[in-house]
Structure 1
Amino acid sequence: MPTLEGNTVFFHVQRLINEIVPDEPDPAAANALQEGLGGQFGEMRTMMQYLFQSFNFRGATAKPFRDLLYGVGTEEIGHVELIATTIARLVDGSPRYQGNPTHLDEPGEGGATPLSIALDGGNIHHWLVGAQGALPVDAQGDPWTGKYVYDSGNLPLNLLYNLMLESTGRLQKCRLYEMTANKTARSTIAYLIVRDQAHENAYAKALEKLGVEWNKLLPIPKTNAERFPEVATLLEQGLQSKQYTFNIDQLNEASKVYNGPSPSKDGTDLTTEQAPEGAPMEIAVERPEEFGPGLDSELMELIQATGEMENNTPPGQYGPTG
């Protein structure tokens, strides 16, 4: 997901922004995580809010602040991908899934109803509407709405609002962590807790650069998240003090803002990097009881024929990036 000059072109690298640890399915945890995806303080909201603030940004002299917003907003796209994939695995099962008496290993096994588990799940729409995948809704099933997005057009106001949003989001994720012991859920929740802190640091430092004494009005919440083992491991790696630019043309100036001692006062200094290494991405297995996705013999023949045609076509190439 790096960006080119003007920050208007996005690329997708087929790696998840963080590893998802395998564990058993947990539909209830999946439904709780929907709040972190499509809720008022979830990843869809942060993604859209920061990107729209970037798109609407005015003032060339303030470019480092715009670049910071772009970097955080682009990272949030990866967070949406991560948490949606986590929800899908919690509903559908992970690579570690060894079978469970309450879950059907085969559709209709022993004459049972293939989707009966949906009646006991956290959100029936995960099966009825989403084919055992994530949905753009909150934990109550209410659809995500663009009305959540805040962009006042005023830089200090936007940064203050963003700091409040990240603080509230991290608080919610700490509660989500305490709701489940599922390793799949906790691996993602812990990562997002730490990255929310990095974004809190980003907006707090940006406000400091503008001369705003934010800490007298809105201190970063003391969530004590470091007591969570997964979070402590990530904090030891300094992940709370890094910000990614996702920029490949070396024109990003976010480092002019994101530098110096961390506002978290944890003894670390803020640094910028191009992008995280990421983790391998897997594609979920077909679910015939959901009638998709799947390829019958005719579709397979069509795909093979199309593939042969594409192999005979000269590859396209994007223009110069430097």
Structure 2
Amino acid sequence: MFKHIKDMEYTVHVDRPDPRFANLLLEQFGGPHGELKAAMQYFSQAVGCNNPQIRDMLHDIAAEELSHFEMVGECIAMLLGPTDKVSRDFPAIHMALLSGGPPITNCMGAPWTSAYIETSGDLYTDLASNSTAELRAKLIYERLLQQTDDAGVKDMVRFLLSREESHNFSFMQAIETLKGTGTDANFRDSEFSKKYMNLSTGVGDSRGPWNQGNGIQYEECPNEKYGGPAQYGKDRGADSKGEVGPGYNDKTRNNPQYTQPKPITPNVPGQENQMH
């Protein structure tokens, strides 16, 4: 059951209309990293979640994202000001013409789409995606702060930015409880799971925790060491050292040693000795 409570999580204050910024704020109303996307993504994930604790968290955060969607929409409507009569150079003319309020689009007018929603059914993957989504939303709010001097609007944006960080923290902590499960479990990893391939050679090659330590093997010239016949073929079992057995003959076109066989000419009765 959903219940709309008329007291918003944050009471929106706008000092004066600013249609230009109203149009920019649409990015967080119907954009790919906005509040509606977040709410729909977390609700969708919660529906398919079999972990009761994680499902409860997803429902809580999804519900709050809907409240943020309401706040952003209210702010946009207040920033638009009266739309019964607007000038020809009105900075948000599409809103004045089409709806008199915020349409569910991004700031460029592209309509919201469910293609924004990312849900895989794997909790580890979904929570990692959610954490990234919160950081992207946080980044957009940071950039929006640079585009307005309205004290009330800036206060609301800072509140939303803080809540994005709170959600990111919750998702990151939940991920820690899922270590060793889902895509963080053994996904048939092989010896190549701990290899770093140095494929951008030249001045500026750098080393760091992404390519050294933690059992990582740094491959200086992987093309010379691994380029050649295919190393993976028919599945030989979960504990197999490799996918291809000894004496494997690569009969594919990407094998530089492979020679295309000549086509066999069919024998047609009565045409064994054709005249040319």
Query: In the alignment, what sits opposite 1:46?
Result: 38
> What pairs up with 1:101-140 in 2 under 5 angstroms?
115-117=85-87, 119-131=88-100, 133-140=101-108
Alignment of 1:183-222 (within 5 A): 183-211=151-179
User: Which of the numbers 61, 72, 77 marks the counterpart of 1:83?
Assistant: 72
Q: Are the aligned partners of 1:86 and 1:184 in contact in 2 as well (CA < 8 Å)?
A: no
Cα separation, 2, equivalents of 1:121 and 1:166: 32
Alpha-carbon offset, residue 188 of structure 1: 2.0
Q: Is the 8 A contact 1:34 1:138 kept in 2?
A: yes
Aligned to 2:133: 165
Q: How many residues align?
A: 183
Cα distance, 1:80 vs. partner? 0.5
TM-score w.r.t. the length of structure 1 is 0.54
Cα deviation for residue 125 of structure 1 reads 1.6
CA positional deviation for 1:115 = 1.9
Q: What is the root-mean-square deviation in Å for CA atoms of aligned residues?
A: 1.9
SS at match of 1:16: coil
Question: CA separation in 2, counterparts of 1:210 and 1:196?
Answer: 21
| Structure 1 residue 182: Cα displacement | 1.5
Matched, 1:31 2:23: yes
Q: Would you tell me which structure has more helix in proportion to its own residues?
A: 1
SS of the residue aligned with 1:15?
coil
CA contact (8 A) 1:123 1:141 kept: no
Give 1:39's aligned amino acid.
G
Q: Deviation per CA, 1:62-115, whole angstroms, max 9, x where unpaired?
A: 21011000000011110110000000000026xxxxxxxxxxxxx9xxxxxx62
User: Which residue is equivalent to 1:153?
Assistant: 121
Distance 1:185 1:40 in 2: 21
Q: What residue identity is the alignment partner of 2:72?
A: I
**Maintained 8 Å contact 2:42/2:61:** yes
Which of 39, 62, 65 does residue 73 from structure 1 map onto? 62
TM-aligned CA deviation for residue 127 of structure 1: 0.5
Comparing both chains, which one has the higher relative contact order based on Cα–Cα distances under 8 Å and sequence gaps of 6 or more? 1
1:267-286 to structure 2, matched below 5 A, reads: none
Gaps of at least 5 residues in structure 1 are: 1-8, 94-106, 108-113, 218-322
| Structure number, greater radius of gyration | 2
Task: Please give the per-residue CA displacement for 1:120-167, whole angstroms capped at 9, x wherever unaligned.
Answer: 233212110112x11100000110001000110000000000000000
Opposite residue 24 of structure 1, the aligned amino acid is R
Contact preservation (8 Å) 1:136, 1:143:
yes
1:2-61 CA distances to partner (integer Å, 9 max, x unpaired)? xxxxxxx1111111110212301000110000001111101110010001111122x2xx
Q: Which runs of 4+ in 1 moved over 4 A?
A: none
Structure 2: runs of 5 or more not aligned: 185-208, 211-276
Paired with 1:184 and 1:160, the residues of 2 have a C-alpha distance of 33
Identity of aligned residues (%): 30
- Compute the TM-score of the two structures, normalised by the length of structure 2: 0.63
TM-aligned CA deviation for residue 186 of structure 1? 1.3
In structure 1, the partner of 2:257 is none
CA distance in 2, matches of 1:138, 1:47: 16
The AA in structure 1 aligned to 2:132 is M
Would the aligned equivalents of 1:90 and 1:185 in 2 still touch at CA under 8 Å?
no
Structure 1 residue 183 displacement after superposition? 2.4
| C-alpha deviation, 1:191, in angstroms | 1.1
AA of the residue aligned to 1:116: V
Q: Aligned letter for 1:143?
A: P
Q: Aligned equivalents of 1:50 and 1:154: distance in 2?
A: 13
